[in-house]
Amino acid sequence: MPKSATCPALLITAPASGQGKTTLVAALARHYRQQGRRVRVFKTGPDFIDPTILERASCHPVYQLDLWMVGANACRQLLYEAALEADLILVEGVMGLFDGNPSSADLAQTFGLPLLMVIDGSAMAQTFGAVALGLANYRGSLTIAGAVANRVASPGHGVMLQQSLPVSIPWLGAFFADEEISLPERHLGLQLADELDTLDQKLDTAAQQIAQTPLGSETLAPVEFFATRTTDPDQLLEGVCIAIARDSAFCFAYPANLQLLQRLGAELRFFSPLADRDLPPADALYLPGGYPELHLPALANNQSMLTAISDFYHSGRPIVAECGGMLYLLNSLQNYDGERHQLCGVIDTDAQMQKRLGGLGLQGFNFSVGELRGHTFHYSVLTSPPTFAGQAHRNESDHPGEGIIRQGQLLASFIHWYFPSNPTAAANLFLTNRPT
């Protein structure tokens, strides 16, 4: 019999994006932490931004769960390990309950996660019950914990919404519209936790609302989570020191990626392209994505760092650049205000920001040691794309994915890689004379 652990758990879902899932999950995490409970939070899908809010609320790193990018076995192990140490597991869904392939519904069904449905009730009355009933019955094999109404105008409005629910769906409370708990957004989603000076105040206020609902005292049924067989990866990066960009311009690095690099034996040294004048001593360089477009003048004016990055490339040491990290290596980038700034000049092309999406979705690329998976989500476009060494493939689509740039020991793409999807392929990216 496989080892198992039990822990109360909820997957918070909605009919669509923008219903308030992140705010509700963060409020729940903060409320239960204030009650002295150990809370572990996960994010469905490849998102970087929401987890920063959820990490602040739970005081614990937030890992991704995705049946394709992360894989079912790895998701199962992450949930099992969380159940060993937590009093409550919360999983924030992605988009609407049935959106995407795999969807939040697929994840809930695979692991037996009860669903808490949050529905924006601000512009509806009795139709609230119809929406909840549709979500609950569209796929009959799902377990429904109950429904919460978000952005409710008044107690009377809340009563109206509650009365519209069928008896088969428990009412778990109204979450009232309040600017004190709203989270600001921009082109890639919510703002990052570190950018919100009032975030803790917002979380505390939201937790107070939770305390006034049935969710504040609800006894949740435990869910049984099973372990999978795991093996430690070979120490393929033993003795390799990796310099990793980390500041407000380069902030999209999965905790699971950094953890894997360390398990592979690498030493990690962090630096700021915004504030530091030089790179730390390192054998390889990792430039994750982020928001270089919001910090262009500062990045362009740090000439010492631009030179250091260029010198590192010309030294023949490995560089892995993802999305915003790749943009940093271009000749120049034009921001939303039409201002163009010169950057590293390692990749001989330019890019500009645009109002519409330039790429979105789960993607993978087949290296000699197998497929490495990840995702893409960007509003930038290359003005004159270079010759690509290959193109990624999209999950569940025949349309070609993002181009892969390979120049010597540099690998760059719009793709944000999820390293644990193929530890050997990930390790090879940081090795000199790596296999193709």
Catalytic residues: 323
Rounding to the nearest 10 degrees, give the CA dihedral for residues 306, 308, 312, 314: 70
403 phi and psi angles, rounded to 5 deg: -75, 150
Among candidates 289, 301, 303, which has minimal Cα distance to 248? 289
Residues 427, 370: Cα–Cα separation, whole Å? 12
Distance separating alpha carbons of residues 27 and 9, to the nearest angstrom: 15
Contact 119, 15 (CB under 8 A): yes
DSSP-derived letter for residue 193 is G
User: Is 386 within 8 Å of 412 (Cβ atoms)?
Assistant: no
Distances from the Cα of 217 to the Cα of 172, 188, 211, angstroms: 10, 35, 7
Burial group, residue 435, by CB count within 10 angstroms (0-12, 13-18, 19+): exposed
Give the closest residue to 176 by CA, choosing from 158, 190, 163: 158
Provide φ and ψ at 232, rounded to 5°: -70, 140
Residue 369 neighbours by CB under 8 Å, 6+ apart: 422, 424, 425, 428, 435
| Axis crossing angle, helix 21-34 with helix 49-58, rounded to the nearest 10 | 20
* Pairing state between β 241-245 and 267-271: parallel
* CB 55 within 8 Å of CB 33: no
Instruction: Please name the residue ranges forming H helices in 35-140.
Output: 49-58, 72-85, 104-111, 127-137
